[in-house]
Amino acid sequence: MSRWTWLLVFVLASIPLWVTSLYFLHILITTTIFIIAAMSLNLLLGFTGQLSLGHAAFFGIGAYASALSSLGFEIHLTDDLAIGIGPKPVWLAMLIGLIAAGLCGFAVGKIAFRVRGAYFVIVSISFAEVVRLVAVNWVELTQGPMALNNIPPLTLGVSGVFELSFARKPAYFHLVLAAAAVCYIVIRRLVNSQAGRAMIALRENEPLAASVGIDVTRYLVLASVISAAMAGLAGALYAHYVRIVDPDIFLFIYTVTMVIMVITGGKGTLAGPVVGGVVFGMLPEFLRAFAIAPELQWVLLGALMIVVVFLVPQGIVPAASSWWAHRGRPPAHPEPPVEALP
Protein backbone atom coordinates (compact mmCIF):
# COMPACT_ATOMS: atom_id res chain seq x y z
CA MET A 1 0.00 0.00 0.00
CA SER A 2 1.18 3.48 -0.75
CA ARG A 3 1.76 6.20 1.83
CA TRP A 4 -1.46 7.92 0.80
CA THR A 5 -3.51 4.78 1.37
CA TRP A 6 -2.10 4.44 4.89
CA LEU A 7 -2.85 8.07 5.58
CA LEU A 8 -6.42 7.62 4.37
CA VAL A 9 -6.90 4.51 6.52
CA PHE A 10 -5.48 6.36 9.51
CA VAL A 11 -7.72 9.39 9.02
CA LEU A 12 -10.83 7.26 8.55
CA ALA A 13 -10.05 5.07 11.55
CA SER A 14 -9.52 8.11 13.76
CA ILE A 15 -12.94 9.57 12.93
CA PRO A 16 -14.62 8.34 16.16
CA LEU A 17 -11.91 10.20 18.12
CA TRP A 18 -12.76 13.61 16.78
CA VAL A 19 -16.38 13.14 15.71
CA THR A 20 -18.05 13.28 19.09
CA SER A 21 -21.64 13.63 17.90
CA LEU A 22 -23.21 10.18 18.11
CA TYR A 23 -25.84 11.25 15.64
CA PHE A 24 -23.19 12.12 13.08
CA LEU A 25 -21.42 8.86 13.76
CA HIS A 26 -24.72 7.09 13.11
CA ILE A 27 -24.95 8.80 9.71
CA LEU A 28 -21.38 7.70 8.96
CA ILE A 29 -22.15 4.10 9.87
CA THR A 30 -25.30 3.84 7.76
CA THR A 31 -23.57 5.63 4.88
CA THR A 32 -20.66 3.18 5.01
CA ILE A 33 -23.08 0.24 5.02
CA PHE A 34 -24.80 1.68 1.96
CA ILE A 35 -21.43 2.23 0.30
CA ILE A 36 -20.77 -1.51 0.66
CA ALA A 37 -24.12 -2.21 -1.00
CA ALA A 38 -23.38 0.34 -3.75
CA MET A 39 -19.95 -1.21 -4.38
CA SER A 40 -21.60 -4.61 -4.77
CA LEU A 41 -24.14 -3.19 -7.20
CA ASN A 42 -21.31 -1.56 -9.14
CA LEU A 43 -19.76 -4.97 -9.78
CA LEU A 44 -22.91 -5.94 -11.72
CA LEU A 45 -23.97 -2.60 -13.14
CA GLY A 46 -20.56 -1.04 -13.73
CA PHE A 47 -18.43 -3.99 -14.76
CA THR A 48 -20.73 -6.54 -16.38
CA GLY A 49 -23.21 -3.86 -17.52
CA GLN A 50 -26.30 -5.57 -16.10
CA LEU A 51 -28.75 -3.30 -14.32
CA SER A 52 -30.14 -5.07 -11.26
CA LEU A 53 -33.10 -3.09 -9.95
CA GLY A 54 -33.76 -5.58 -7.20
CA HIS A 55 -30.50 -5.23 -5.40
CA ALA A 56 -32.17 -4.32 -2.10
CA ALA A 57 -33.49 -7.91 -2.08
CA PHE A 58 -29.99 -9.29 -1.45
CA PHE A 59 -29.42 -6.63 1.19
CA GLY A 60 -32.69 -7.62 2.88
CA ILE A 61 -32.07 -11.36 2.57
CA GLY A 62 -28.70 -10.86 4.25
CA ALA A 63 -30.36 -8.83 7.01
CA TYR A 64 -33.18 -11.32 7.61
CA ALA A 65 -31.01 -14.44 7.36
CA SER A 66 -28.50 -13.00 9.79
CA ALA A 67 -31.13 -11.70 12.22
CA LEU A 68 -33.09 -14.97 12.18
CA SER A 69 -29.98 -17.08 12.67
CA SER A 70 -28.89 -15.01 15.64
CA LEU A 71 -32.37 -15.10 17.20
CA GLY A 72 -33.15 -18.69 16.31
CA PHE A 73 -36.44 -19.66 14.72
CA GLU A 74 -38.91 -22.48 14.36
CA ILE A 75 -41.26 -23.19 11.47
CA HIS A 76 -44.22 -25.54 11.85
CA LEU A 77 -44.53 -27.49 8.63
CA THR A 78 -47.49 -29.50 9.89
CA ASP A 79 -49.18 -29.61 13.28
CA ASP A 80 -46.57 -31.83 14.83
CA LEU A 81 -43.60 -31.37 12.50
CA ALA A 82 -41.43 -28.37 13.07
CA ILE A 83 -37.97 -27.41 11.95
CA GLY A 84 -35.84 -24.67 13.37
CA ILE A 85 -32.47 -23.66 14.64
CA GLY A 86 -31.39 -22.32 17.97
CA PRO A 87 -29.73 -18.92 18.35
CA LYS A 88 -26.31 -18.82 16.73
CA PRO A 89 -23.40 -16.51 17.59
CA VAL A 90 -23.70 -13.23 15.72
CA TRP A 91 -20.50 -13.63 13.66
CA LEU A 92 -21.81 -16.98 12.39
CA ALA A 93 -25.23 -15.47 11.75
CA MET A 94 -23.63 -12.73 9.64
CA LEU A 95 -21.75 -15.37 7.67
CA ILE A 96 -25.05 -17.22 7.13
CA GLY A 97 -26.58 -13.96 5.90
CA LEU A 98 -23.75 -13.48 3.43
CA ILE A 99 -24.01 -17.07 2.15
CA ALA A 100 -27.82 -16.98 1.92
CA ALA A 101 -27.66 -13.81 -0.18
CA GLY A 102 -24.89 -15.33 -2.32
CA LEU A 103 -27.01 -18.42 -3.00
CA CYS A 104 -29.95 -16.22 -4.01
CA GLY A 105 -27.55 -14.34 -6.28
CA PHE A 106 -26.61 -17.65 -7.87
CA ALA A 107 -30.25 -18.58 -8.48
CA VAL A 108 -31.21 -15.17 -9.83
CA GLY A 109 -28.06 -15.11 -11.96
CA LYS A 110 -28.79 -18.51 -13.48
CA ILE A 111 -32.39 -17.64 -14.27
CA ALA A 112 -32.02 -14.01 -15.21
CA PHE A 113 -28.99 -14.25 -17.45
CA ARG A 114 -30.96 -16.36 -19.85
CA VAL A 115 -32.88 -13.13 -20.32
CA ARG A 116 -30.66 -10.13 -20.73
CA GLY A 117 -31.05 -6.38 -20.76
CA ALA A 118 -34.52 -5.02 -20.06
CA TYR A 119 -35.78 -8.50 -19.17
CA PHE A 120 -33.11 -8.86 -16.54
CA VAL A 121 -34.21 -5.56 -15.02
CA ILE A 122 -37.78 -6.86 -14.81
CA VAL A 123 -36.72 -10.20 -13.32
CA SER A 124 -34.64 -8.42 -10.69
CA ILE A 125 -37.49 -6.08 -9.72
CA SER A 126 -39.93 -8.99 -9.54
CA PHE A 127 -37.52 -10.99 -7.39
CA ALA A 128 -37.24 -8.13 -4.89
CA GLU A 129 -41.01 -7.73 -4.77
CA VAL A 130 -41.61 -11.45 -4.24
CA VAL A 131 -39.10 -11.52 -1.39
CA ARG A 132 -40.73 -8.47 0.18
CA LEU A 133 -44.17 -10.11 0.03
CA VAL A 134 -42.75 -13.24 1.65
CA ALA A 135 -41.28 -11.10 4.43
CA VAL A 136 -44.63 -9.36 4.95
CA ASN A 137 -46.81 -12.46 4.88
CA TRP A 138 -44.78 -15.29 6.34
CA VAL A 139 -45.49 -14.03 9.82
CA GLU A 140 -44.47 -17.22 11.58
CA LEU A 141 -40.90 -16.82 10.34
CA THR A 142 -40.42 -13.10 9.87
CA GLN A 143 -43.00 -11.61 12.25
CA GLY A 144 -44.28 -9.79 9.17
CA PRO A 145 -44.83 -6.05 9.68
CA MET A 146 -44.34 -6.52 13.45
CA ALA A 147 -40.63 -6.79 12.58
CA LEU A 148 -37.82 -8.82 14.11
CA ASN A 149 -36.89 -7.14 17.38
CA ASN A 150 -34.07 -7.40 19.88
CA ILE A 151 -31.54 -8.58 17.34
CA PRO A 152 -28.35 -9.13 19.35
CA PRO A 153 -25.31 -6.94 18.67
CA LEU A 154 -22.02 -8.45 17.58
CA THR A 155 -19.57 -9.60 20.24
CA LEU A 156 -16.40 -11.52 19.54
CA GLY A 157 -14.21 -13.58 21.82
CA VAL A 158 -14.72 -16.18 24.51
CA SER A 159 -17.44 -15.29 26.97
CA GLY A 160 -16.05 -14.36 30.38
CA VAL A 161 -12.41 -14.44 29.27
CA PHE A 162 -12.09 -11.84 26.57
CA GLU A 163 -14.88 -10.04 24.84
CA LEU A 164 -14.93 -7.48 22.11
CA SER A 165 -18.31 -5.82 21.87
CA PHE A 166 -19.55 -3.94 18.82
CA ALA A 167 -22.66 -2.67 20.55
CA ARG A 168 -21.43 0.92 20.69
CA LYS A 169 -21.17 3.26 17.74
CA PRO A 170 -17.39 3.97 17.63
CA ALA A 171 -16.60 0.25 17.64
CA TYR A 172 -19.30 -0.45 15.06
CA PHE A 173 -17.93 2.30 12.84
CA HIS A 174 -14.56 0.53 12.83
CA LEU A 175 -16.28 -2.73 11.99
CA VAL A 176 -18.20 -1.38 8.98
CA LEU A 177 -15.10 0.52 7.87
CA ALA A 178 -13.08 -2.70 7.92
CA ALA A 179 -15.83 -4.55 6.06
CA ALA A 180 -15.97 -1.79 3.42
CA ALA A 181 -12.18 -1.92 3.02
CA VAL A 182 -12.27 -5.70 2.55
CA CYS A 183 -15.06 -5.41 -0.04
CA TYR A 184 -13.14 -2.68 -1.86
CA ILE A 185 -10.00 -4.82 -1.98
CA VAL A 186 -11.94 -7.88 -3.17
CA ILE A 187 -13.54 -5.89 -5.99
CA ARG A 188 -10.21 -4.32 -6.94
CA ARG A 189 -8.56 -7.74 -7.12
CA LEU A 190 -11.41 -9.10 -9.20
CA VAL A 191 -11.40 -6.20 -11.62
CA ASN A 192 -7.66 -6.46 -12.21
CA SER A 193 -7.82 -10.18 -12.91
CA GLN A 194 -8.84 -12.53 -15.66
CA ALA A 195 -12.35 -12.69 -14.19
CA GLY A 196 -12.76 -8.91 -14.08
CA ARG A 197 -11.52 -8.50 -17.62
CA ALA A 198 -13.98 -11.17 -18.74
CA MET A 199 -16.79 -9.18 -17.07
CA ILE A 200 -15.69 -5.96 -18.77
CA ALA A 201 -15.47 -7.82 -22.07
CA LEU A 202 -19.11 -8.91 -21.70
CA ARG A 203 -20.15 -5.33 -21.06
CA GLU A 204 -18.21 -4.01 -24.04
CA ASN A 205 -18.89 -6.64 -26.68
CA GLU A 206 -20.50 -9.95 -25.85
CA PRO A 207 -20.14 -11.74 -29.22
CA LEU A 208 -16.46 -10.83 -29.40
CA ALA A 209 -15.97 -11.96 -25.80
CA ALA A 210 -17.45 -15.36 -26.66
CA SER A 211 -15.22 -15.58 -29.75
CA VAL A 212 -12.07 -15.48 -27.61
CA GLY A 213 -13.40 -18.21 -25.34
CA ILE A 214 -15.07 -16.28 -22.52
CA ASP A 215 -17.89 -18.31 -21.00
CA VAL A 216 -20.63 -15.68 -20.82
CA THR A 217 -22.90 -17.39 -18.29
CA ARG A 218 -20.06 -18.37 -15.98
CA TYR A 219 -18.79 -14.83 -15.54
CA LEU A 220 -22.24 -13.25 -15.28
CA VAL A 221 -23.20 -15.73 -12.57
CA LEU A 222 -19.87 -15.21 -10.79
CA ALA A 223 -20.46 -11.45 -10.74
CA SER A 224 -24.02 -12.00 -9.54
CA VAL A 225 -22.97 -14.29 -6.68
CA ILE A 226 -20.19 -12.04 -5.41
CA SER A 227 -22.35 -8.97 -5.77
CA ALA A 228 -25.27 -10.56 -3.91
CA ALA A 229 -23.06 -11.94 -1.13
CA MET A 230 -21.54 -8.50 -0.60
CA ALA A 231 -24.97 -6.88 -0.48
CA GLY A 232 -25.98 -9.60 1.98
CA LEU A 233 -23.03 -8.73 4.19
CA ALA A 234 -24.10 -5.09 4.12
CA GLY A 235 -27.61 -6.20 5.12
CA ALA A 236 -26.27 -8.31 8.00
CA LEU A 237 -24.17 -5.37 9.21
CA TYR A 238 -27.28 -3.23 9.06
CA ALA A 239 -29.46 -5.74 10.95
CA HIS A 240 -27.08 -6.05 13.89
CA TYR A 241 -26.59 -2.31 13.99
CA VAL A 242 -30.17 -1.01 14.00
CA ARG A 243 -31.20 -4.30 15.70
CA ILE A 244 -34.66 -4.32 14.16
CA VAL A 245 -35.55 -5.58 10.70
CA ASP A 246 -38.92 -5.15 9.00
CA PRO A 247 -40.10 -5.80 5.42
CA ASP A 248 -39.52 -2.15 4.49
CA ILE A 249 -35.88 -3.10 4.03
CA PHE A 250 -36.91 -4.48 0.62
CA LEU A 251 -38.40 -1.19 -0.55
CA PHE A 252 -37.55 -0.05 -4.06
CA ILE A 253 -36.17 3.23 -2.70
CA TYR A 254 -33.17 1.41 -1.21
CA THR A 255 -32.27 -0.04 -4.59
CA VAL A 256 -32.71 3.40 -6.14
CA THR A 257 -30.41 4.88 -3.51
CA MET A 258 -27.71 2.36 -4.43
CA VAL A 259 -28.17 3.00 -8.15
CA ILE A 260 -27.89 6.77 -7.60
CA MET A 261 -24.69 6.32 -5.60
CA VAL A 262 -23.16 4.19 -8.37
CA ILE A 263 -24.28 6.34 -11.31
CA THR A 264 -23.37 9.74 -9.83
CA GLY A 265 -20.07 8.46 -8.46
CA GLY A 266 -19.15 6.77 -11.72
CA LYS A 267 -20.16 3.24 -12.65
CA GLY A 268 -17.40 0.90 -13.66
CA THR A 269 -14.81 2.67 -11.53
CA LEU A 270 -13.53 1.40 -8.20
CA ALA A 271 -13.88 4.70 -6.36
CA GLY A 272 -17.18 5.68 -8.00
CA PRO A 273 -19.63 4.08 -5.54
CA VAL A 274 -17.52 5.25 -2.61
CA VAL A 275 -17.55 8.87 -3.73
CA GLY A 276 -21.20 8.67 -4.81
CA GLY A 277 -22.05 7.02 -1.50
CA VAL A 278 -20.28 9.65 0.59
CA VAL A 279 -21.88 12.48 -1.37
CA PHE A 280 -25.43 11.15 -1.48
CA GLY A 281 -25.28 9.52 1.94
CA MET A 282 -24.12 12.64 3.74
CA LEU A 283 -25.64 15.36 1.61
CA PRO A 284 -29.19 15.12 3.02
CA GLU A 285 -27.72 15.84 6.47
CA PHE A 286 -25.81 18.90 5.31
CA LEU A 287 -28.79 20.16 3.35
CA ARG A 288 -30.86 19.97 6.51
CA ALA A 289 -28.97 23.03 7.75
CA PHE A 290 -30.08 25.09 4.73
CA ALA A 291 -33.62 23.84 4.53
CA ILE A 292 -36.37 25.84 6.13
CA ALA A 293 -38.85 23.01 5.80
CA PRO A 294 -37.95 19.31 5.75
CA GLU A 295 -39.48 18.99 2.29
CA LEU A 296 -37.06 21.57 0.93
CA GLN A 297 -34.12 19.37 1.92
CA TRP A 298 -35.28 16.66 -0.49
CA VAL A 299 -36.13 19.15 -3.21
CA LEU A 300 -32.58 20.49 -2.96
CA LEU A 301 -31.16 16.96 -3.04
CA GLY A 302 -33.16 16.13 -6.16
CA ALA A 303 -32.05 19.32 -7.87
CA LEU A 304 -28.40 18.61 -7.03
CA MET A 305 -28.72 15.11 -8.38
CA ILE A 306 -30.06 16.44 -11.69
CA VAL A 307 -27.22 18.96 -11.84
CA VAL A 308 -24.62 16.23 -11.31
CA VAL A 309 -26.13 13.99 -13.96
CA PHE A 310 -26.27 16.88 -16.44
CA LEU A 311 -22.76 18.20 -15.80
CA VAL A 312 -20.91 14.91 -15.42
CA PRO A 313 -23.08 12.19 -17.00
CA GLN A 314 -20.21 9.70 -16.78
CA GLY A 315 -19.98 10.23 -13.01
CA ILE A 316 -17.93 12.29 -10.59
CA VAL A 317 -14.89 10.01 -10.43
CA PRO A 318 -14.28 9.59 -14.21
CA ALA A 319 -14.81 13.33 -14.71
CA ALA A 320 -12.38 14.20 -11.92
CA SER A 321 -9.73 11.76 -13.10
CA SER A 322 -9.89 12.98 -16.70
CA TRP A 323 -9.61 16.56 -15.44
CA TRP A 324 -6.60 15.51 -13.33
CA ALA A 325 -4.97 13.77 -16.30
CA HIS A 326 -5.38 16.84 -18.54
CA ARG A 327 -4.47 19.52 -16.00
CA GLY A 328 -1.73 21.85 -17.15
CA ARG A 329 -1.90 20.48 -20.69
CA PRO A 330 -2.66 22.93 -23.48
CA PRO A 331 -6.31 23.13 -24.55
CA ALA A 332 -7.51 20.99 -27.44
CA HIS A 333 -6.93 23.74 -30.01
CA PRO A 334 -3.77 25.54 -28.96
CA GLU A 335 -2.46 28.71 -30.53
CA PRO A 336 -0.09 27.95 -33.40
CA PRO A 337 3.45 27.97 -32.05
CA VAL A 338 5.55 31.04 -32.77
CA GLU A 339 8.40 30.15 -35.08
CA ALA A 340 11.71 30.41 -33.32
CA LEU A 341 14.13 32.73 -35.04
CA PRO A 342 17.37 31.14 -36.17
Partner 1 sequence: MTATASGMLRVEDLSIRFGGLMAIENMTFDVREGEVLSLIGPNGAGKTSAFNAITGYLRPARGEIFYRGRRLTGLRPNAIAARGVVRTFQKTSLFGDQSVLDNILIGLHLRSRQHPIAIILGLPSVTADERERKAAAWDILRFMALEARAQESGSALPYGEQRLLEVAIALAARPSLLLLDEPVSGMNPAEKVRFMATLARIRSEGITVLLVEHDMRTVMGVSDRIICLNQGRIIADGSPKEIQSHPEVIRAYLGERARRADG
Contacts to partner 1 by CB under 8 A: 185-186, 189-190, 192-195, 197-198, 200-201, 204-205, 207-216, 222, 226
Alpha-carbon distance of 246 to 132, in angstroms, equals 10
| Smallest separation, CB 193 to partner 1 (Å) | 4
Nearer to partner 1, 147 or 195 (CB): 195
Nearer to partner 1, 140 or 204 (CB): 204
Return the CA Rg of the chain: 22
| Smallest separation, CB 315 to partner 1 (Å) | 14
Nearer to partner 1, 149 or 217 (CB): 217
| Smallest separation, CB 89 to partner 1 (Å) | 24
Q: Are 141 and 70 in contact (CB under 8 A)?
A: no
| Smallest separation, CB 189 to partner 1 (Å) | 5
Which strand (E) or helix (H) includes residue 200? helix 194-204
Q: What is the DSSP string of 233-290?
A: HHHHHHHHHH--B-GGGG-HHHHHHHHHHHHHH-TTSSSHHHHHHHHHHHHHHHHHHH
Closest listed residue to residue 196, CA positions, set 20, 5, 47, 49:
47
Nearer to partner 1, 168 or 188 (CB): 188
Closest listed residue to residue 35, CA positions, set 173, 130, 165, 151:
173
Type of residue numbered 179: A
Nearer to partner 1, 26 or 197 (CB): 197
Q: Are 176 and 32 in contact (CB under 8 A)?
A: yes
| Smallest separation, CB 210 to partner 1 (Å) | 4
Q: Are 225 and 106 in contact (CB under 8 A)?
A: yes
| Smallest separation, CB 80 to partner 1 (Å) | 43
| Smallest separation, CB 186 to partner 1 (Å) | 5
123: Cβ contacts below 8 Å, ≥ 6 apart = 54, 108, 111, 112, 115
Nearer to partner 1, 176 or 222 (CB): 222
Which SS3 state, helix, strand or coil, does residue 97 take? helix
- β-pair partners for 148: 245
Nearer to partner 1, 94 or 209 (CB): 209
